């Protein structure tokens, strides 16, 4: 794979048709691309958020831990998850989202996808919560602009995807810390060439991912020749890829690409934003059949139940397989 395609969002008002074609071409062939010149996004602040959170005392992080690991916690989904020894994924993370407005009764209290974000106490020296909430909205708005360009490049209605996110999207902003392996890693973290992963080979399940790897190596993607290649960081640039949800809604025309994270021997940090539709959004539409046949093939399927089954029962990510079922 050559260097990933670069999409310059500063050209969105003057060269939107060109950008739209570039995005679609990249997603048809590579599945990963760089996004640069994102309005209002402060990369230095994002890195400070990572370092600030993971430098918190263990007891503070533990107080934000999901209920599975800390029975005193009420949060099931949002908040902190720890490194789990013996897993091939060697990472700890903190997740937050846009909270449902107070008084909104349209969401069942049993639907933990919409539970309130939990936050560490602050001493006033660094406004962590403020920075995270503001960054979430910037990531969301950036993702929606990219989806409009994508739809334009596909020749479908520019707002074809926007309705999926209009009512309480399930998107997540996550801080990630990958500590180096301490001692001999488990066998399931060692790949054929003897190297070690900190996140195994996978495809994202959500709609679209915007990833900040700061200046850390370690990310590898599988190219069209079935070869693993390294993605080298670019300063103040996001990496974008799509998940299985968008790929299936495009009849496979757009690629959800397999990727993994390798152990680089030092502490590694990253910050992904996972754009996800609303729980009840219908993802059973095949937009490519609409484009090619004049009508959309449609087998109704709600995003929430579909993605829960995928991450909990099919892929069984350690941070998700411990989640309870949701009663509709």
Report the percentage of the chain scoring pLDDT > 70. 97
Residues 179-206: what's their mean pLDDT? Answer: 94
- Tokens representing 271 are 């910050």
- pLDDT of residue 72 exceeding 50, the answer is yes
- Tokens representing 186 are 């488990």
Tell me what pLDDT residue 135 has. 99
> Collapsing DSSP states into helix, strand and coil, what is residue 292?
helix
Residues 97-106: what's their mean pLDDT? Answer: 91
- Tokens representing 227 are 């070869």
- Distance (Å, rounded) from C-alpha 146 to C-alpha 65? 33
Report the percentage of the chain scoring pLDDT > 90. 84
Tell me what pLDDT residue 199 has. 95
Radius of gyration over alpha carbons of the chain, in Å? 19
Tell me what pLDDT residue 44 has. 98
- Distance (Å, rounded) from C-alpha 111 to C-alpha 300? 20
- Distance (Å, rounded) from C-alpha 282 to C-alpha 41? 31
Average pLDDT, rounded, for the chain = 94
Nearest to 228 by CA among 257, 265, 255, 253: 257
User: Roughly what angle, to the nearest 10 degrees, separates helices 43-54 and 128-154?
Assistant: 130
Strands 237-242 and 208-212: antiparallel
Q: pLDDT digit string (tens) for 254-303?
A: 999 999 999 999 999 999 999 999 999 999 988 877 666 666 688 899 99
Q: pLDDT digit string (tens) for 113-165?
A: 999 999 999 999 999 999 999 999 999 999 999 999 999 999 888 999 999 99
Q: pLDDT digit string (tens) for 210-223?
A: 999 999 999 999 99
pTM for the full model? 0.95
DSSP states along 109-160 = TT-GGGPPP------SSS-HHHHHHHHHHHHHHHHHHHHHHHHHHHTS-TTT
- pLDDT of residue 1 exceeding 60, the answer is no
- Distance (Å, rounded) from C-alpha 249 to C-alpha 243? 10
**In the structure, what pLDDT confidence band is assigned to residue 319 with cuts at 50, 70 and 90?**
confident
Domain annotation for the chain: domains and CATH numbers: 6-99+122-314 (2.60.120.330)
Strands 92-96 and 172-178: antiparallel
**In the structure, what pLDDT confidence band is assigned to residue 224 with cuts at 50, 70 and 90?**
confident
Q: pLDDT digit string (tens) for 242-255?
A: 999 999 999 999 99
- Tokens representing 142 are 């950036």
CA 282 from chain centre, in angstroms, equals 20
- CA-based angle 216:221:222, to the nearest 5? 160
- Distance (Å, rounded) from C-alpha 247 to C-alpha 31? 10
Tell me what pLDDT residue 103 has. 84
Residues 25-34: what's their mean pLDDT? Answer: 95
- Distance (Å, rounded) from C-alpha 37 to C-alpha 236? 8
């Amino acid at each position: 794979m050559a260097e990933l395609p670069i999409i310059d969002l500063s050209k969105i008002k003057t060269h939107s048709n060109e950008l739209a074609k570039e995005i679609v071409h990249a997603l048809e062939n590579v599945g990963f691309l760089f996004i640069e010149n994102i309005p209002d996004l402060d990369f230095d602040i994002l890195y400070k958020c990572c370092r600030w959170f993971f430098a918190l005392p263990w007891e503070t992080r533990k107080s934000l831990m999901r209920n599975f690991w800390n029975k005193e916690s009420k949060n099931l989904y949002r908040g902190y998850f720890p490194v789990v020894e013996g897993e091939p994924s060697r990472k700890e993370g903190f997740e937050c989202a846009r909270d449902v407005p107070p008084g909104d009764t349209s969401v069942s209290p049993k639907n933990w996808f919409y539970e309130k974000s939990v936050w560490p106490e602050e001493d006033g020296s660094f406004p962590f919560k403020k920075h995270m909430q503001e960054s979430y909205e910037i990531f969301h708005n950036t993702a929606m602009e990219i989806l409009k360009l994508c739809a334009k490049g596909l020749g479908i209605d520019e707002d074809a995807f926007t309705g999926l996110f209009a009512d309480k999207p399930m998107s997540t902003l996550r801080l990630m810390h990958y500590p180096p392996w301490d001692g001999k890693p488990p066998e399931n973290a060692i790949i054929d060439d003897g190297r070690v992963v900190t996140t195994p080979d996978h495809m994202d399940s959500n709609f679209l991912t915007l990833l900040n790897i700061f200046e850390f190596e370690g990310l590898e993607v599988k190219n069209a020749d079935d070869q693993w290649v390294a993605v080298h960081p670019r300063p103040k640039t996001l990496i974008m890829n799509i998940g299985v949800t968008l790929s299936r809604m495009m009849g496979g025309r757009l690629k959800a690409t397999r990727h993994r994270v390798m152990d680089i021997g030092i502490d590694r940090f990253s910050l992904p934003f996972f754009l996800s539709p609303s729980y009840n959004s219908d993802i059973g539409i095949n937009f490519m059949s609409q484009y090619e046949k004049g009508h959309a093939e449609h087998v109704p399927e709600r995003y929430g139940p579909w993605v829960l089954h995928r991450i909990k029962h099919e892929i069984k990510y350690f941070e998700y397989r411990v989640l309870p079922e949701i009663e509709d």
